[in-house]
Amino acid sequence: MFSSSRHAPGTAPATLVARAGAEPPVVTLIEYDAEGIEERQVGSIEEVFVCRDNGKVSWINIDGLGDVELLRKLGAHFRLHPLALEDVLNTSHRPKMEEHADHCFLITRMASVSDEGEVTFEQVSMFLGHTFLITIQHLPGDVFEQVRQRLRAGRGFARTRGHDYLAYALLDALVDHFFPVLEKIGEDVEELEDLLLESPSPECVARLHEIKRSLLQLRRAAWPEREVIAALNRDESGLIAAETKVFLRDCYDHTVSIMDVIESYRDVTAGMMDLYLSSVSNRTNEVMRVLTVIASIFIPLTFMAGVYGMNFDPDASPWSMPELRARYGYPITLAAMLLVGLGMLFLFRKKRWI
């Protein structure tokens, strides 16, 4: 549930081990400046090493963590810290930002939601240097496609700024993709609310439990994400230009909004169990009341019928049920029964039980 796929306890620190089932890496290199953009998939990791000094913005993206050797070469060339590389291989590390000598290392989380409302996360690691931006993802498919399209089209200031702005654009895309997830959860919450009031069932409670858990997971992802962006904003190493920081502040505002919405949903869902319980207890009460009324009315009547079903013989003794032979014994008895029944009905209606 919340378990992370970590290396076995006791493993030497900074040991790089591929996870079981990790996919073979696909390396893509995008290089651009205001003039133009070049985009290609490289066969061997050494091909990207040349990009360091050509004055262009170089974005190296790696999909899949199946090749530890590739990471080791990458780390050696770009002087990435071995512990950072170990964290890259960890599929569910807490988002964090670490400053190193000439680059900074970010771990972030990409949220997505299925149509059933299940929230999944993918870890995205970034190394932002003065002459490179490396992003490493576990699985193919990401939320960066629109950034790539903006780069290709060259709209806005997309291609006129440096690696820091590219990193911001990617972070912004990651953060923005929390909103559709929250919207889906918001819809689920509203739907569930109606369901709870109309036809409460234990399935609702299980669903509510799942939503709460999704919110927990989102909070667990969004909270440190916020810290990551705040840390980038405070960065004084010169990696982040002042004009990019204005944008990062905007991005930070979005993470604050995300936390805000998550907390609001948590508060709302906290109250929904009450809705359910009151809804259920109301239904039980309705059932109970009907039983009470029916039983309370007929039990005395059945007793009366039982009395006149006793076999005391009027012939044997003048005290033995002479009413059985009375001319109007039967109709009077029936009338008495009717009276008792109506009386109780009246009483119950007065007490508002029916």
The interface with its own copies within residues 288-347 (CB under 8 A) comprises 288-292, 294-296, 298-303, 305-313, 316-317, 319-321, 324-331, 333-334, 337
What is the per-residue burial (b if ≥16 Cβ within 10 Å, else e) of 86-107?
bbbbbbbbbbebeeeeebbbbb
User: Could you say which of 285, 336, 338, 342 contacts its own copies (CB under 8 A)?
Assistant: 285
Interface with its own copies includes 20 (CB under 8 A)? no
Contact 157, 165 (CB under 8 A): yes
User: Could you say which of 177, 230, 235, 340 contacts its own copies (CB under 8 A)?
Assistant: 177
128-147 residues in contact with its own copies (CB under 8 A) are 143, 145-147
Interface with its own copies includes 156 (CB under 8 A)? yes
Q: How many residues bind its own copies (CB under 8 A)?
A: 121
The CA distances from residue 225 to 109, 261, 275, 316, in Å, are 8, 15, 33, 97
Query: What are the start-end ranges of the H helices in 79-201?
Result: 82-89, 145-153, 163-176, 178-198
Cβ of 330: how many Cβ atoms within 10 Å? 12
29's tokens: 């290199």
State the DSSP string of 276-322: HHHHHHHHHHHHHHHHHHHHHHHHHHHHHHHHTTS---TTT-TTS-G
Whole-number Å distance between alpha carbons of 202 and 280: 10
User: Could you say which of 39, 281, 336, 343 contacts its own copies (CB under 8 A)?
Assistant: 281
Interface with its own copies includes 280 (CB under 8 A)? yes
Interface with its own copies includes 33 (CB under 8 A)? no
Smallest gap from Cβ 12 to its own copies, in A, equals 5
> HSE (CB half, 13 Å, CA atoms) of 354?
13
Mask for 236-275, x = binds its own copies (CB under 8 A): ----------xx-xx--x--xx--xx--xx-xx--xxxxx
Mask for 82-111, x = binds its own copies (CB under 8 A): -x---x-----xx-x-x-------------
User: Could you say which of 15, 44, 54, 160 contacts its own copies (CB under 8 A)?
Assistant: 15
Smallest gap from Cβ 48 to its own copies, in A, equals 25
202-231 residues in contact with its own copies (CB under 8 A) are 202, 205-206, 208-209, 212-213, 216-217, 220
Smallest gap from Cβ 128 to its own copies, in A, equals 18
DSSP-derived secondary structure letter, 92: T
Whole-number Å distance between alpha carbons of 348 and 294: 11
Q: Please, which residue, 1 or 43, has the CB nearer to its own copies?
A: 1
User: Is 59 in a helix, a strand, or coil?
Assistant: strand
Closest by alpha carbon to 74, among 102, 48, 56, 41?
48
180-199 residues in contact with its own copies (CB under 8 A) are 180, 182-183, 186, 189-190, 193, 197
Whole-number Å distance between alpha carbons of 154 and 135: 21
User: Could you say which of 17, 50, 287, 335 contacts its own copies (CB under 8 A)?
Assistant: 287
User: Could you say which of 277, 336, 338, 339 contacts its own copies (CB under 8 A)?
Assistant: 277
Smallest gap from Cβ 202 to its own copies, in A, equals 5
Whole-number Å distance between alpha carbons of 71 and 84: 11
What is the per-residue burial (b if ≥16 Cβ within 10 Å, else e) of 2-33?
eeeeeeeeeeeeeebeebeebbebebbbbbbe
Q: Please, which residue, 27 or 189, has the CB nearer to its own copies?
A: 189
Smallest gap from Cβ 267 to its own copies, in A, equals 5
